[in-house]
Structures are given as C-alpha cells and as structure tokens.
Amino acid sequence: MKLTYSSLLLSLTLFANVLFAQTEDWVTIKSDEFGYIADFPQEPEPSQTATQSAVGELYLNMYMYDASKSGIPDDNLIYMCSATEYPGEAFEKKTESELDGIFDGAINGAVTNVNGRLLSQETIELQGIEGRAVKISIYDGQAFLYMRLFLRGNNLYLLQVITTGENDGNSDIDAFFNSYRFLVVANKK
C-alpha cells in the first residue's frame, strides 16, 4: 500500500480527533496563584495541607479528583496536581546537585509513603523547565503511581495519577499529564 500525502493527512487528523475527543469533556482548572492549568476527568477538590519539613512548615496546595469514590467509571483511581512553596532562595539559583537532591528527596518520600518500589525515573522538560517522570509499583504491581515533578521559582510542582495494575498504561494517564501547562506569568505574592 502506497502512503500518499492525503492518506497521511487523514490518518493524522483521525489520530488528533481521537486524542482531543478523549479530553473534550474534562474540566480545566487554573491556579493563578501558582501559575498553571491542568485538565481533570471531573471537577477536582481543592485543598491545602500544612506539613512540617526540614526547612519549616510547608503548605501543599492541591487539586485532587478521587475517581475511586466518584461512582463514574474511570481507568484510574486518583488524579492530583499540587504546588508547594519553599522558603529561601529560588530553585533557579540552586546547583544541579542541589536540584537533584530535591528531586531525589521528593521521589524517595513518595516511594516510602506508598510502601512502593521505584520502577523508572527519567529527566523530562516542560516549557523549558526541567523535571522528573517517575513510575512506582504499589502492592507488587497491583497498582502504579505515575508522577511528574518540576521545580520553578520557589515551588515544587507535583502531578500524580494512581491506577490499578490491570489498567496500567491507559491513555488517560498521558492525557492528564499532557494537559498540564505553566502559565507564562505566575501571579505570586
């Protein structure tokens, strides 16, 4: 079969329609305070949690959709994005080694918190901002935690999707991560 320009264009159009149809009914949230947008399958719940850390009290500012409690069929259990502002100098002023230490600490903390096993970790970039993509096995592969982490300004941005082992690798994981964007100008205090 000979691939023509028109058949290639048709294939790409169909692929794009499938990709966009998948998220057309999703809910877009926008955090002006932390400068990002993200799409969720349903309306997420906002929350703020205080936690003690080695650098003092930190506030986890989060949007989460718990599909496991919604009664609406979904391939994933949890969708979450958060921003945590850290005191002191901006992450942009840190050395590569210091940044690696921050990423490693957050990833190791996640692995410990879910009693999991780190399966993969890679360096990624979003709009010129370096980050990490992580996959963690939970309960020996009965569930998986996918994470994306970014450091921007004084903020640690974290995205997570938790899915069951039988739904591992479903397209909504990528749809959620691919919807996430930083706003050009973050309106910080």
Write down the pTM of the prediction: 0.83
What CATH architecture does domain 25-182 belong to? 3-Layer(aba) Sandwich (3.40)
Please say if the pLDDT value at position 16 is more than 70.
Answer: no
Question: Does 174 score more than 50 pLDDT?
Answer: yes
Over residues 113-150, the pLDDT tens digits come to 999 999 999 999 999 999 999 999 999 999 999 999 99
Output b/e per residue, 18-35; b: 16+ Cβ within 10 A: eeeeebeebeebebeebb
Burial class (CB in 10 A: 0-12, 13-18, 19+), 136: buried
Q: What number is the average pLDDT over the span 24-40? A: 94
Q: First CA to last CA across the chain, in angstroms?
A: 59
pLDDT tens per residue across span 18-27: 444 445 699 9
Instruction: Name the nearest CA neighbour of 189 among 159, 149, 138, 155.
Output: 155
CB contact at 8 A, 156 and 106? yes
